[in-house]
Amino acid sequence: MNSIVPYNRFKVMAVAALLVIVVSTLPVAAGVYAASRAVAAAARERSILAVDQALAHAGGLLRGISLALAEIESADYPPYSERHLNKMVAAAIALPDVAEIGYVADRVLQCSTWAGGQAGTRERESDFSLSNGMAVTRNITSSAHAGKGLTRLQYGAHYALVDPASFADIHLDAGTSIAIASADGQLLGSAGSSGEEGDALLLHGDQGAAAYPAHGVLRRDATLTVLSYTAPDRRIVTLLREHPSMLALGALLSVMMLVVSARHVRKRLSPLATLTEAVKRREFVVHYQPIMALESGACVGAEALVRWQRANGEWVWPDVFIPFAEENGLIFSITDQVIAAIVTELGPTLAARSDLHVAVNVCAQDLQSGRILDVLDAALAGSGIRPCQIWLEATERGVRDIDTARTTLMRAQQRGYTTAIDDFGTGYSSLSCLERLPLHVLKIDRSFVDAGAGTGCVLRHIVALAKSLGLALVAEGIETPVQAVQLREQGVDFGQGWLYARAMPAPDFRSFIRETGAGEGEGDGEGEGEGEASD
């Protein structure tokens, strides 16, 4: 009950275990992924290089053949003449990729540069045409060329036979495929192998340039379409060899994230994290300890005491969490929740009973900054609660700078709030506080209340001092009727303690004030002490 530890510790530890698994594997997986992407990018670069080289090579081959055939076609030589044959032979010699150049008339071979060429052979119709005007016939076989399937490129009446492999006759890295096609995707030649995707690339190249693997690289010019694909080697051995830094970075990040996660878990299990979560979840409730008029026995108000009820029903006492909240900057949020609870729970009661008040403890930080005054103004607006019904209690220990505290308390009085010094006599500068601070009420610490403990003389001096300064007196910690009688006889105005009631939730407090009723002369909102008539 008296410690600030997470009640859902098992849940936090379970989440932490899952977090450890994630942070220990995710960076390594990310490193492998990054290395794989780098390998794939390198493979694509090789494909781009292969495409550019193939496009230049195949384009040059076609341009050379096209120019040579056009020149022969335009020459004014009689067919079959020596000059005609010499022109074809010279062109064939100048084009090393050409196996044969021939002359066709009426689709019948008339003559060719191949000595074994069979004149009179009827030629097949072309399969398709290129944009430069050459007709293409694939898979031409003849005994003259040992039955090898060649590609015929024909311009006018003249043709050239080439090996289809000549179109892709470039250096290819392992795993790279290349396909050379016409502008509309008719396959001219191919080379290389990169597995299933490479084979699919060649097949798509034959079916049309628009259908090619997503990882392939495509280049076009006016005559040709070139497709290339390089299969990336994603084996872990390759990744380690080519990109060790990425995998090492992933391992390093895993270690770093484990360290960060461990710290995060420690924070989640820390008292500060637990209290911060409680503030976010608004787990703080307010109990009200009645303040009684010693002369009439009527309830005139209450001190608002914050309580922390955790989600599992456990209670944590204020002396455990309040100092911790003050040290870690959470006290403002708790104070704001207390003020909001007062307005919500007792707003109608206070608005209807001007003789009642609620005392709110002011922390040292609020006493220095004065922030609480704006919070109160906003909370009370439209509630019907009068500022004089709110007592602002500052402890001597909370008065760290008297000048700053004086400024805040003066502003509070100017706005109509009642000001009080709590636990009087327990600090180091009691008299200085009374002389310099603008106050309405002095609350006597419980340690001076028990007259039987040898403090009766001190109590009489405190009462006399307060009376001389015109302060109303509230005695704390009254537990016996004898104490109540002695305090009343010495001139103490009000008291609170277990003799009357312990701190209670708002519904019980509302019932309590109905049972005790208002004291005589208090129904109009003006009490006997100056502290109640602050406005």
**Three-class SS string for 449-497?**
CCHHHCCHHHHHHHHHHHHHCCCEEEECCCCCHHHHHHHHHCCCCEECC
Same domain for 229 and 285? no
Final residue before a domain boundary, out of 250, 269, 288: 269
Helical residues (DSSP H) of 244-401, grouped into ranges: 244-268, 271-280, 318-327, 331-352, 364-369, 371-380
Is residue 359 a part of any domain in this protein? yes
Same domain for 210 and 287? no
Identify which of 378, 340, 373 has the alpha carbon closest to the alpha carbon of residue 506.
340
Same domain for 123 and 250? yes
Same domain for 302 and 251? no
Same domain for 334 and 386? yes
**What phi and psi values does residue 400 have, to the nearest 5 degrees?**
-85, -30
Is residue 257 a part of any domain in this protein? yes
Same domain for 115 and 44? yes
Q: Cβ–Cβ contacts within 10 Å for residue 446, how many? A: 17
pTM: 0.54
Is residue 532 a part of any domain in this protein? no
Residue at token pair 């690339």: 201
Q: Cβ–Cβ contacts within 10 Å for residue 358, how many? A: 24
Q: Which domain holds residue 338?
A: 279-516
Same domain for 320 and 233? no
Is residue 340 a part of any domain in this protein? yes
Is residue 529 a part of any domain in this protein? no
Same domain for 2 and 136? yes
Is residue 524 a part of any domain in this protein? no
Q: In the structure encoding, which two tokens stand for residue 267, read together? A: 């924070």
Q: Which residues pair with 227 in a beta bridge?
A: 179, 218
HSE-up of residue 455 (Cα within 13 Å, Cβ side): 15
Identify which of 334, 385, 381 has the alpha carbon closest to the alpha carbon of residue 361.
334
Q: What pLDDT is recorded for position 20?
A: 63
Q: What pLDDT is recorded for position 304?
A: 96
Same domain for 437 and 321? yes
Same domain for 18 and 115? yes
Same domain for 330 and 458? yes
Final residue before a domain boundary, out of 218, 237, 269: 269
Distance between CA atoms of residues 203 and 194, nearest Å: 13
| pLDDT, tens digit only, all 535 positions of the chain | 456 655 555 565 565 566 666 666 666 666 666 667 677 777 778 888 888 999 999 999 999 999 999 999 998 888 888 899 899 999 999 999 998 999 998 888 888 888 655 667 788 888 999 988 899 999 888 766 777 889 999 999 999 999 988 998 888 877 788 888 888 878 888 887 654 544 445 445 444 444 445 567 888 888 888 888 877 665 554 555 555 655 555 566 666 666 666 666 555 556 777 888 888 989 999 999 999 999 999 999 999 999 998 877 788 888 888 888 888 889 999 999 999 999 999 999 999 999 999 999 999 899 999 999 999 999 999 999 999 999 999 887 777 788 899 999 999 999 999 999 987 866 555 676 777 899 999 999 888 887 544 456 888 888 998 999 999 999 999 999 999 999 999 999 999 999 999 999 999 999 999 887 654 334 333 333 333 333 2
Q: What pLDDT is recorded for position 355?
A: 93
Strands 128-129 and 224-230: unpaired
Q: Which residues pair with 443 in a beta bridge?
A: 474
Contact (Cβ atoms closer than 8 angstroms) between residue 111 and residue 123: no
Number of domain units in the chain: 2
Residue at token pair 């045409």: 129
Is residue 523 a part of any domain in this protein? no
Final residue before a domain boundary, out of 225, 240, 269: 269
Distance between CA atoms of residues 120 and 107, nearest Å: 9
Is residue 388 a part of any domain in this protein? yes
Q: Which residues pair with 113 in a beta bridge?
A: none
Same domain for 244 and 287? no
CATH number for position 386: 3.20.20.450
